[in-house]
């Protein structure tokens, strides 16, 4: 993905937080997409949309704490191990994701290529895509500020499927550093990460496991990520 495509994926991930269908539809249409459908329950939210070239996009919401969706918060904080195809992840991140994918293929053809993006908890659930989707149906993947939720065996098993994923970390993000000082849940995808440094648009490409983490909760705001990606796009034009 080039930087402009990563920026658009971030805007989709931001729009996926909108709770009301009319607001969600308007936000995706403002990005040039055709809004298809929304999936929503106590601990999951996602939107299917199609862009003008016919590509299908699944945008997964992160933690909806401001809407008092406390099961999202519990999913973020849960560190109970759960086995999945290829390794081990936290139960909170994977619980209910199969049902979300069942919905996806009840709405679109089961052989469709799907492009997936998400922020925070939604970014972590983007990493799970190869558990539910065969390699030939995985399109672009974009993860923004995902916390650490998988063990290294998961990423080693799915290295091919996740190799091209755009992983974005921002500044000194507190919540992408979760769980803090934990030795069991400390792995990140093997793909290189875009580390957004500041509002100038400066960024570095780093190994995700080399990122030092941070203590700034404001750096976890997807709107700050979008602003810095916009500056980065301007800097590469």
**Of the candidates 103, 82, 99, which has an alpha carbon nearest to the alpha carbon of residue 91?**
82
Strand partners, 49: 35, 57
Confidence at residue 114, expressed as pLDDT on a 0 to 100 scale: 98
pLDDT digit string, tens, across residues 222-232: 999 999 999 99
pLDDT digit string, tens, across residues 146-189: 999 999 999 999 999 999 999 999 999 999 999 988 888 989 99
Secondary structure (3-state) at 105? helix
The DSSP line for 25-50 is HHHHHHTTPEEEEEEE-SS-EEEEEE
Confidence at residue 67, expressed as pLDDT on a 0 to 100 scale: 43
Per-residue pLDDT at 69 exceeds 60: no
Measured CA angle at 211 (ends 170, 224), to 5 deg: 5
Rounded Cα gap, residues 173 and 145, in angstroms: 8
- Per the model's pLDDT, the better-predicted residue between 132 and 73 turns out to be 132
The CB density around residue 74, as the number of other CB atoms within 10 Å, is 13
Calculate mean pLDDT across residues 86-96: 94
Q: pLDDT band for position 74 (50/70/90)?
A: low
> Topology of domain 3-167, per CATH?
Rossmann fold (3.40.50)
Confidence at residue 82, expressed as pLDDT on a 0 to 100 scale: 95
For residue 155, give Cα distances in angstroms to 3, 55, 59, 159: 24, 26, 21, 6
Report the relative pairing of strands 45-50 and 56-60 from DSSP bridges: antiparallel
pLDDT digit string, tens, across residues 36-59: 999 999 889 999 999 999 999 999
Residue whose token pair is 């930087």: 3
């Amino acid at each position: 993905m080039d930087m402009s495509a990563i920026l658009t994926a971030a805007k989709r991930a931001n729009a996926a937080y909108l709770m009301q269908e009319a607001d969600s539809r308007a936000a995706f249409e403002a990005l040039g997409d055709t809004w298809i459908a929304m999936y929503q329950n106590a601990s999951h939210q996602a939107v299917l949309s199609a862009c003008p070239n016919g590509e299908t996009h699944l945008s997964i919401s992160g933690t909806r704490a401001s809407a008092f969706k406390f099961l999202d918060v519990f999913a973020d904080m849960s560190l109970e191990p759960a086995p999945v195809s290829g390794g081990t992840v936290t139960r909170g991140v994977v619980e209910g994701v199969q049902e979300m994918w069942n919905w996806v293929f009840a709405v679109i053809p089961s052989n469709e290529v799907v492009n997936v993006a998400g922020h925070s908890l939604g970014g972590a659930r983007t990493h799970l895509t190869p558990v539910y989707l065969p390699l030939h149906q995985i399109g672009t993947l974009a993860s923004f500020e995902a916390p650490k939720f998988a063990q290294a065996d998961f990423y080693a098993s799915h290295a091919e499927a996740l190799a091209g994923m755009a992983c974005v970390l921002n500044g000194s993000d507190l919540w992408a550093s979760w769980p803090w000082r934990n030795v069991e849940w400390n792995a990140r995808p093997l793909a290189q990460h875009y580390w957004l440094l500041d509002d100038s648009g400066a960024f570095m490409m780093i190994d995700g496991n080399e990122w030092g983490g941070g203590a700034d909760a404001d750096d976890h705001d997807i709107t700050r990520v979008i602003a810095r990606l916009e500056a980065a796009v301007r800097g590469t034009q």
